[in-house]
């Protein structure tokens, strides 16, 4: 099963033992002459042709917001989306604020740092993201 949410792709690989999600960007950042991205998922620096490692972190935060709320993220309504996540009491509001921050300096610097923060939440299953 593959779920594609621009500008990133999330691939689900299922085995008998477990299901694992992989985040891939297909090398889009390696083509700096082109401005690739989808409104709502691409941060301002990417739209301006200056992507950085935390640009993918922003996109991941937007996908997480969409998965939790069932709404396509909108940078102008970011605070409204984050407030809706707080009402779900998912344990993720602070992490999502950092992931989807418009300022790249305020985001996790790369995906490994975001994964470390996620692991620190001690979630047992993906459903804990929504129902914790």
CA distance 76 to 69: 16
- The reply to whether 27 falls in a domain is no
Question: Greater confidence, 123 or 113?
Answer: 113
pTM: 0.66
What integer pLDDT is reported at residue 105 of this predicted model?
94
Among 4-8, 18-22, 100-104, 118-122, the range with the most confident prediction by mean pLDDT is 100-104
Predicted confidence (pLDDT) per residue in 83-100, tens digit: 877 776 556 788 888 888
CA triplet 120, 122, 125: central angle to 5 degrees? 135
- The reply to whether 2 falls in a domain is no
User: Which of the 8 DSSP states describes residue 91?
Assistant: S
- The reply to whether 114 falls in a domain is yes
Domain residue limits at 83? 40-131
Domain count, the chain: 1
* Band of residue 3 on the pLDDT scale cut at 50, 70, 90: very low
- The reply to whether 126 falls in a domain is yes
């Amino acid at each position: 099963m593959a779920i594609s949410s621009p500008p990133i792709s999330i691939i689900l690989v299922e085995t008998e033992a477990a299901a694992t999600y992989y985040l891939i960007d297909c090398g889009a950042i390696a083509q700096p002459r082109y401005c690739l991205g989808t409104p709502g998922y691409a941060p301002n620096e990417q739209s301006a042709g200056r992507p950085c490692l935390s640009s993918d972190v922003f996109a991941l935060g937007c996908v997480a917001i969409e998965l939790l709320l069932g709404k396509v993220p909108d940078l102008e309504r970011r605070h409204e989306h984050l407030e809706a996540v707080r009402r779900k009491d998912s344990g993720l509001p602070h992490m999502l604020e950092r992931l989807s921050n418009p300022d790249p300096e305020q985001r996790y610097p790369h995906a490994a740092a975001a994964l470390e923060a996620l692991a620190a939440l001690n979630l047992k299953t993906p459903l804990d993201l929504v129902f914790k």
